[in-house]
Amino acid sequence: GQQLNQSPQSMFIQEGEDVSMNCTSSSIFNTWLWYKQDPGEGPVLLIALYKAGELTSNGRLTAQFGITRKDSFLNISASIPSDVGIYFCAGYTGANSKLTFGKGITLSVRP
């Protein structure tokens, strides 16, 4: 089946720094979703992308739908302590496909 690859498993940054994370696959995806999960809570949708090349922002977050449709990127600018959490990418390969999730990247922000 389709797999989404997120690496590294953990990232450590200093408060105020920018951070970029990506999500790759060997399959073509038609929708990319980025979620953030705080400890003990459910994932919250950050950004949804529907078109190759699309660039969408949500506050300090910017995500892009890769031109090849096999990857997506999430950037967080000027990180703050509340950015700590697990960031998941997810996507659909087709209109009737199930949502596929990456394993997530745990982000830590040092004050």
| Smallest gap from residue 57 Cβ to other proteins (A) | 17
Does residue 26 touch other proteins according to CB under 8 A? no
Q: What 3-state class would DSSP assign to 9?
A: coil
Cα gap 54→111, rounded to integer Å: 32
Task: Kindly tell me which residue out of 16, 17, 50, 78 binds other proteins, with binding defined by CB under 8 A.
Answer: 50
Task: Kindly tell me which residue out of 8, 42, 59, 111 binds other proteins, with binding defined by CB under 8 A.
Answer: 42
Q: Residue 103: CB partners within 8 Å, gap ≥ 6?
A: 6, 9, 88
Q: What 3-state class would DSSP assign to 81?
A: helix
Does residue 43 touch other proteins according to CB under 8 A? yes
Does residue 9 touch other proteins according to CB under 8 A? yes
Question: Within a 10 A sphere around the Cβ of 9, how many other Cβ atoms?
Answer: 10
Q: Under the rule (CB under 8 A), what is the footprint of other proteins?
A: 4, 9, 30-31, 33, 35, 40-45, 48, 50, 88, 90, 92, 95-96, 98-99, 101-104
